[in-house]
Every structure is written in C-alpha cells, then in structure tokens.
Amino acid sequence: MRLFRPLALLVALPVMLATGGLRAHSFDLALFVPLSGPEREIGEEMRAGFLEATREFDAHPGQESDGHLGGLDVYVTVIDSARAESGVTLPGDPAFLVGRLPPRLAAGDDPGDGPLTVTVTGPLRAAEARAVGYDLARLIALAVRARGGDFGDRRALRAALRKAWATHPYRSDRAFFRLSDSS
C-alpha cells in the first residue's frame, strides 16, 4: 500500500501537467495590440515592451510560460486589436484583458468575476509604445504581487490594480492608461 501512493502520483503527474491541471501558480492574460494596418509598428513595439517586462524577473531555465508577472507564470495570448472588433475568442479564462481593447471589451462593465481590463488610449507613437507596453505589464505585476497571487477576491485585486495605477513610477505617460469602471 505504501508503494501504491508514490506510484499513483508518478502516473497522475504527467497527465495533470499535460492537461493544465497544475497551473495554480499561473494566470492567463489577453494582450490586444494592433498587428496589422497603420498602427502595426506601434503594436509590435508595445508587445515587445510588454514581453520584456514579463521576462525581467523570476525567469528560470525550461520555463513553459511566456514569463512572470507578480511572481507567477503568465501565459500571454496576443490578439490583433485591428481585427478584434469583428469578434475574437478569448483564451481560457483570462484574468486580465489589456492593451488597445475593442470598445465592446474596453467597457469592462462586469463587476463580478470577469477579467480586469486596462485599456491603452490616445494616440501613440512607435517611439513610446515599447515603454507603454512595459508599464502595462508592470501594473499587472504590481497588482498580482500585492495580492500574493490571489485571484479569488476580485474586488481586492481591482483595488490593488487601482493602487498600482496611482503609484507606479512610469516610463511612459500614465494618461495612456484607463482602467475600466469595474477595475
């Protein structure tokens, strides 16, 4: 009987890993950036800045995630915001929707368990887009770290995001960011 438990774990572990059953220390995020059309260069720079910030802290060899924010693995799905208005399928259950969100998602009127939204607004130049992407990722990291990775209390996570927005030392201009009314 003693041998059965370790053996069962050895058999179950690869199955749990393959099906995503062991992602307690990670979260999904949808990053909306223009990857086509006239703002393509802006979108590429914003994505590069965002991913730079995810790889800045806590990286480790052999990681399967797209990086880390707030001490947790983050899985980033990049969506072309220039084409997202026609409809988009969100990955799994993202904790955050960030970037150049389409108006229907930017409203962020779900006060319940929906994803938190941070919209990048206003005209951007490619020269400042990388810093905006970087700051966007750092805002998420500060909020996640402040909550110790706890996504269970969405109100507290929203409050941590608001505090991060108000106190973060930006590389870019804070005026580019708008939190949803429910964030």
User: Which CATH number belongs to the domain containing residue 28 in this structure?
Assistant: 3.40.50.2300
**169 is a domain residue:** yes
Q: Which pLDDT band, with edges at 50, 70 and 90, does 24 fall under?
A: low
How many helices, marked H, and strands, marked E, lie in the chain? 5, 6
**122 is a domain residue:** yes
The pair of three-digit structure tokens given for residue 170, joined into one six-digit string: 């930006």
Going by C-alpha positions, the residue among 142, 174, 177 that lies closest to residue 161 is: 142
**Rounded to the nearest 5°, which phi and psi values hold at 115?**
-65, 150
**pLDDT top residue among 70 and 11:** 70
Dump pLDDT digits (tens) for 121-170: 888 888 899 999 999 999 999 999 999 998 888 889 989 998 998 888 88
**61 is a domain residue:** yes
Whether pLDDT at 20 is above 60: no
Going by C-alpha positions, the residue among 98, 118, 120, 103 that lies closest to residue 161 is: 118
**4 is a domain residue:** no
Name the residue range of residue 111's domain.
Answer: 24-179
Going by C-alpha positions, the residue among 132, 115, 114 that lies closest to residue 123 is: 132
Dump pLDDT digits (tens) for 66-109: 888 998 999 999 999 988 876 777 878 888 899 988 877 776 55
- Distance between the two ends of the chain, CA-based, in angstroms? 51
**7 is a domain residue:** no
The pair of three-digit structure tokens given for residue 94, joined into one six-digit string: 């993202």
**6 is a domain residue:** no
**16 is a domain residue:** no
How many other C-beta atoms are found inside a 10 Å radius of the C-beta of residue 183? Answer: 23
Whether pLDDT at 4 is above 70: no
Number of domains observed in the structure of the chain? 1
**31 is a domain residue:** yes
**pLDDT top residue among 57 and 136:** 136
Please indicate, yes or no, whether the overall pTM of this predicted structure exceeds 0.95: no
